[in-house]
Structure 1
Amino acid sequence: MKWMEVTIFTTEEGLDPVCARLDMLGINQVMIEQGRESIEQFLRDTAKYWDYADMDKLVTSDEPCVKAYIADVADNRAAVRAIEDSFAELRNMDVGLDLGSLRTVVRITDDEDWENNWKIYYKPLEIGDRLLVRPSWEKAEDTGRIVLSLDPGMAFGTGSHHTTRMCLEFLEKTVKAGDDMIDMGCGSGILSIASLLLGAKEAVAVDIDPIAEKIAYENAAMNGIGKDTYTVLVGDVLSDSALQDKLCEKKYDVVAANIVASVIIELSAIVPKLIKKDGVFIMSGIIAERLDEVLQALDKNGFEVLEVKAGDDWRAILARPKR
């Protein structure tokens, strides 16, 4: 099926009114795209969570816009004209808000399923010697590997990125039967779920994004893992002392953090409180330029580095408490 994509250019202040007006017209399949200024401000406000951002991929337009999607059939072409007329009318009204140009651009797209198109980029992926990560919508031949089925949603990854792959390789190497594991910044839950499939007894997953809780539990269930062995918690370990206390009620054999260098540096002062003396600390998401900073923080906080992996510009570290 072909779709008509109607883009309405506006301002940050105008995004909600534009969506509301589309809703009044009975159109609710929309996508909001922030403008360059808003994205740059977001990156500044959350700088400690980012080491690298590709602005060319994050920003599609300097102007904020709302994209409405309507099936390209004869009966709906009048709806497009109604949108154009409606926003032409709104341009001439004094609503007390800066709504920007409100210009509209119509494009016909062959995308049959714009909501799920991102799935074409994910295929079954062999990782290490034993793991096979399989997106839930893909079939995979039986190769004797441990199959981890995953539906990341549009917000998280499936293991194809170097940072996740290197973590999984370290987990495959270190997780033993009966281990307790904790995953800091779990996203889709891939690392903690993989640990359970590799033989861990229990796993705890933590993320600051509430969406991660839902997706991680769904992915765990897809792999036959229940809440008796798997717990997902939402919060910021760095700033939430109550969450820190809860996590430190027990000690873990494996601690994994696939985040960014700045967060790992801060975590390195917290992890000694919750890792067993013979446990391992797996870290990834470290851009090459910041590797030395992370290594210095690990040494300062009592860790011995066992191995460093490299994948393009990314680094992963396997460490343990000094003995």
Structure 2
Amino acid sequence: MYELRLLCPEADVDVICEALDALDALSVSVEDADAHTEAEQPLFGEPGMPAPREGWQRSLLVALFAQEEPAREAARLLQLQDFFGGSTIVGVQNVPEQDWVRLTQSQFAPVDITQEFWIVPSWHEPPAEAKQVIRLDPGLAFGTGTHPTTRMCLRWIARNGQPGDAGKLGTVLDYGCGSGILAIGAAKFGATQIDAVDIDPAAVESTRINADSNHVTLNAGLPDLVDPANGRYQTVLANILATPLKVLAPLLVAHVAAGGHLVLAGILERQADELKQAYAPYIALEVADSEDGWILMTGRKPA
């Protein structure tokens, strides 16, 4: 495998990427050419906020080719094009063979939610202190237990549920289930009927696979799985982002049974008042947990 590396200004990134694709590059990545220097530029904004700019002033493009000759031919042809005038070829180099599966797996270790509750990838043995374990491998859907919002939701489940006691969490709706990790966690801590829904069919499939791997029973599907008129749950979980949570306020609260709990995550600390105001006509929210600038908000519907 060989990679062609080149530098180009922000305005030319798209056209050069398209040209590399036409020249049969297997893949093209775009990086900040000034990364890890004083000239490095932040590109992505906070969740729910627009990016400060669309690209870096100087980008490093890395195009992957199966053989050395096509990589060098692509470099030669690019330099003949008018649009390449502001760009520079850095060079062509061999990419050492690696065990990419092992390399990827090495980046994911068991994650502790509480002292006795852990998220453990399939290639690891559970820690000796783990009494409750969710087996979960990184996949296409959001939710591996490493993000603060996921950990806070799982901590709430562990603190409010009880393995073998269906009366604690009761019936559960996981709205925006992603990998299904919250629904699976609820099942481990005594939930009875569990419905997990997402607008992404890949997330629904991921949830079903992960539920089978963890030997728990739940219903996974698109949002129409839930009866909009009669679906009431003792616990409603939604780990999304602040903006969709505000839009979904009447729908989510409507699914909470009398005396039931609403648990919301994906919220930054500075967004707490926004969420309280959005939900005020329906339920009173309070901050129940915080981690790394993120918060967990919960509310209880009157019995």
The answer (yes or no) to whether the contact 1:130–1:172 under 8 Å persists in 2 is no
- Identity among equivalent pairs (%): 26
Query: Which residue number in structure 2 is paired with residue 11 of structure 1?
Result: 13
Aligned residues, how many? 285
Instruction: Give the residue type in structure 1 aligned to 2:212.
Output: A
Query: Which residue number in structure 1 is paired with residue 190 of structure 2?
Result: 199
1:149-188 to structure 2, matched below 5 A, reads 149-153=135-139, 156-175=142-161, 177=166, 179-188=170-179
1:22-41 to structure 2, matched below 5 A, reads 22=24, 28=26, 30-33=27-30
Query: Which residue number in structure 1 is paired with residue 37 of structure 2?
Result: none
- SS, match of residue 225 in structure 1: coil
Query: Which residue number in structure 2 is paired with residue 299 of structure 1?
Result: 280
Over 3 Å counting, the alpha-carbon distance change for 1:59 and 1:12 in structure 2 is: closer
Over 3 Å counting, the alpha-carbon distance change for 1:102 and 1:204 in structure 2 is: farther
Residue 63 of structure 1 deviates from its aligned partner by 4.2
Over 3 Å counting, the alpha-carbon distance change for 1:158 and 1:101 in structure 2 is: same
Over 3 Å counting, the alpha-carbon distance change for 1:221 and 1:287 in structure 2 is: same
Over 3 Å counting, the alpha-carbon distance change for 1:292 and 1:108 in structure 2 is: farther
Range moving further from structure 2, 106-115 or 159-168: 106-115
Gaps of 5+ in 2: 34-42
2:64 to 47, 68, 90: 68
1:229-244 to structure 2, matched below 5 A, reads 229-233=218-222, 243=224
The answer (yes or no) to whether the contact 2:2–2:93 under 8 Å persists in 1 is yes
The answer (yes or no) to whether the contact 1:306–1:320 under 8 Å persists in 2 is no
Query: Which residue number in structure 2 is paired with residue 75 of structure 1?
Result: none
Query: Which residue number in structure 1 is paired with residue 36 of structure 2?
Result: none
- SS, match of residue 276 in structure 1: strand
Query: Which residue number in structure 2 is paired with residue 259 of structure 1?
Result: 240
RMSD between aligned residues:
3.8
The answer (yes or no) to whether the contact 1:7–1:67 under 8 Å persists in 2 is yes
Q: Separation in 1 of the partners of 2:81 and 2:97? A: 35
Task: Using CA pairs under 8 Å that are at least 6 residues apart, name the structure with larger relative contact order, 1 or 2.
Answer: 1
What does the per-residue CA deviation read over 1:31-85, in whole Å, with 9 as the maximum and x for residues that have no partner?
Answer: 544899xxxxx979xx9xx2468989x9788548453165xxxxxxxx2232221
Residue 107 of structure 1 deviates from its aligned partner by 4.7
Instruction: Give the residue type in structure 2 aligned to 1:177.
Output: A
Residue 91 of structure 1 deviates from its aligned partner by 4.8
- SS, match of residue 270 in structure 1: helix
Instruction: Give the residue type in structure 2 aligned to 1:192.
Output: A
Query: Which residue number in structure 1 is paired with residue 249 of structure 2?
Result: 268
TM-score, normalisation: structure 2: 0.76
- SS, match of residue 215 in structure 2: coil
1:89 to 70, 74, 77: 77
Instruction: Give the residue type in structure 2 aligned to 1:5.
Output: E
Instruction: Give the residue type in structure 1 aligned to 2:4.
Output: V
TM-score, normalisation: structure 1: 0.72
The answer (yes or no) to whether the contact 1:6–1:80 under 8 Å persists in 2 is no
1:219 to 210, 216, 228: 210
Range moving further from structure 2, 208-217 or 161-170: 208-217
